Amino acid sequence: MTDMKPISPVTASAPTPEIVRMTIVQGEAKASTDPRVEMSTILGSCVATCLFDPVARVGGMNHFLLAEPPAHARNQTFDSDYGLFLMELLINEMLALGAHKHRMRARLYGGANLNPDLSPIGTANAAFARQFLEREKIPCVFEDLEGTQARRIQFRPASGQVRARLVPCDVAPKEKPLGRPQSALGAVELF
- Within a domain: residue 11? no
CB 62 within 8 A of CB 48: yes
- Within a domain: residue 69? yes
Count of domains for the chain: 1
Q: What per-residue confidence (pLDDT) applies to 71?
A: 65
With pLDDT > 90 as the criterion, what percentage of the chain qualifies?
Answer: 64
Q: Checking phi first, is residue 158 left (phi over 0); if not, alpha (psi -120 to 50) or beta? A: alpha
Mean pLDDT of the chain: 82
Domain extent for 54: 20-170
- Within a domain: residue 105? yes
With pLDDT > 70 as the criterion, what percentage of the chain qualifies?
Answer: 73
- Within a domain: residue 87? yes
Q: What is the CATH number of the domain that holds 52?
A: 3.30.1330.200
Q: How far apart are CA 24 and CA 22, in angstroms?
A: 6
- Within a domain: residue 84? yes
- Within a domain: residue 64? yes
CB 50 within 8 A of CB 34: no
Over the stretch 125-172, which tens digit does the pLDDT of each residue have?
A: 999 999 999 999 999 999 999 999 999 999 999 999 999 999 876 543
| Residue 9, amino acid | P
Interior angle at CA 7, CA 5 and CA 12, nearest 5: 145
Q: How far apart are CA 102 and CA 97, in angstroms?
A: 15
Q: Is the pLDDT of residue 98 over 60?
A: yes
Q: What per-residue confidence (pLDDT) applies to 152?
A: 96
